[in-house]
Structure 1
Amino acid sequence: MTAEAASAPTAGPDAPPPGPPPDRGPRAHGGTAYLRYAAGKAAGAVVSLLAVLVTGFFLFRLIPGDPVKFMTGGRPVSAQQLAAYRREFGLDLPMWQQFTDYCGKALTGDLGTSYQFRAPVIDKITEALPNTLLLTGTAFVLYSALGIVLGTRSAWRHGSIGDRLNTGLALTLYSVPSFWLGLLLIIVFAVGAGPVPGLFPTGGMESGGEEGLAHAVDVAHHLVLPVLTLIAVQYGETLLVTRSALLDEMGSDYLTTARAKGLRDDLVRRRHAVPNALLPTVTLIFVNLGRTVAGVILVETVFSWPGLGGLFYQALSVPDLPLVQGLFFVFAAAVIVMNTLADLLYPLLDPRVGR
């Protein structure tokens, strides 16, 4: 027997099987594997963005309406004037040439010029974006926190009266159309109904004429009803996803072991069950974060909020093709980017992802 064979450990019944260790995800083999994983996700995101670019160009050309006639304001104009308008905005070019020009400019960051505002599309988007982020960002933080907290409590006390009430209310509000709920809140709390006086503005972002702290209070006053609408409609989704994921974890052996060691029930939930159940909720949070950039078109329209959603609705009525296409691309890009970031974060939260 050689020295090497003599020094080798003897295989016993508890010895691991021969062969390479199992693959435990992109982190298992160091940074290189994770970089390959990230590169694949980034490539998929780029392909998705290109598909959105192509889809947006052809999709909105199916909308009925002539933007050139809108630009004339209904005034009687000659055929020469109509031809001049079409030539100015490139509408006289063949469709394939319009498409190649649009894609070429979009890849350089030029989303065209708005028909109705006669301004670069990117400038109009930049102007309206902060208003949308203020509205939907505020609502996003509140309904995400509310959904996670209530979803966790409902799952941990599943079957209780509180769980049934929380789940029933979440399902009801989640199924309510946002525009209908917004109109109802305007009727009750803005116009006033019965003994309830009108407490909030019916729409807009500010009353005007205010500065400093008074202006901030005025904007917050206008925020209440649209934010309340978004919270009521959206928090139920987070609650239901969190509750379902935590219920799946509650039967796991490691929770039984933690309880057997004498850990308090609240500690078991907070330190062990909830962190392991949050992966589906992280997905939802990132998707909703992408939607935050897109805003909520119907809610912004109902409350006359000067954000991207209201701008999109206004552009559709023309149709203002460059503005509609630009907004559609920004909306889709926000969701794609947030989904990609969630995919890149998964292996850091759970090594099993990406096996």
Structure 2
Amino acid sequence: MLTLVLNTGSSSLRFALYDGSAPEPVTSGMAERLGTPGARLELDLPEQELEIDIPDELHEQALRLAISKLHEHKVLKQQPDAVGHRVVHGGEHFTAPALINDEALQIIESCNHLAPLHNPSGLLGIKVAQQIFPDTPQVAVFDTSFHQTLPEHAYLYAIPREFYSNHGVRRYGFHGSSHGYVAQAAADQLAFPIEQSRIISSHLGNGCSATAILNGKSVDTTMGLTPLEGLVMGTRSGDIDPGLLIFLGEQLNMSIQEISDLLNKQSGLLGLSGQSNDMRTCRKHADDGCHEAAMAVEIFCYRAAKSLAALTVATGGLDTLIFTGGIGENDFRTRARIMEHLQHLGLNIDPERNPNHGKNHRGVITCDDSPATAVVIPTREELMIARLTEQTLHG
């Protein structure tokens, strides 16, 4: 079965082509920093790598160009048998992957307000793929599905219960495909039974979340009703005092849409640094002496560490801490700073392994005698989506 996987994020587009049960894609690629002058498209073809500057281009143009290049280089010689899509929010409507039809599209669109940075771009990816491959079945795989095992005391907000009963207001959690994959990958790499484990998974990128995984099941997570709750992110504020919303409305006369744009698109690293939503750029400015950029990085690390420590309440302790996502996998300085805050949990960082991202050590970046283990696991959401797409179509 030839499966094309599309993972359309707020400022990025990942794609991969899988053939049958092979764990490695036939080809893959990524468009990042979309909508900015630095936008680029990278294609990992079987015999070469392509890098194409696409300044200011958005998701639709990037996807069309990627498909065109796959045809041009004869990587995609036939129509795929299926297209699998990452969709961030399924609300209470979807507790498992779903075959995409008109009804499913309408329901996904009805959840746009719950994930304003992601669901619209995910829908765009679906609609463009339907135009390019009109006769190919397409499946939506939801970030929220992995967190359906959250207990009631973890997913309910402390507001009148009628808001949950009548409107589905609750904590859903996101990055489910990523957390699910890296937890199992860590168990496989480190040879421990996931059914008897206490894992905290931290997905750190432009979007950030952490999840408490007890015996292989999600039992708590940092994101909530929307992907806005939790950690400091690229442009999202993460946790704030709810009273701030009242203050912005009453004292500054801001509309609901203006407040939404502020917290979703103008905050996080971007708002704190006044420079960029990209950790790499923030670090560069911090190294050059910019106080605001340096403080943005420090707040990012401190808030992440505080949330990771809090999640150990749900697991009753910590065996394994996982770093994944663009920042978690590649920025050893961020990992080191977060773990400095977490030494009381028994995480003794190895100063030689961490800068090498745990290479040659099964991804482990802690010392051999560390009471708890920290490990870098590259996320492979696309592989999980391909497998779930095939399961959905063929049972």
- TM-score using structure 2 length: 0.24
| Structure with the larger strand share | 2
Q: With CA pairs under 8 Å and 6+ residues apart, which has the higher RCO, 1 or 2?
A: 1
Say which one has the larger Rg.
Answer: 1
| Structure with the larger helix share | 1
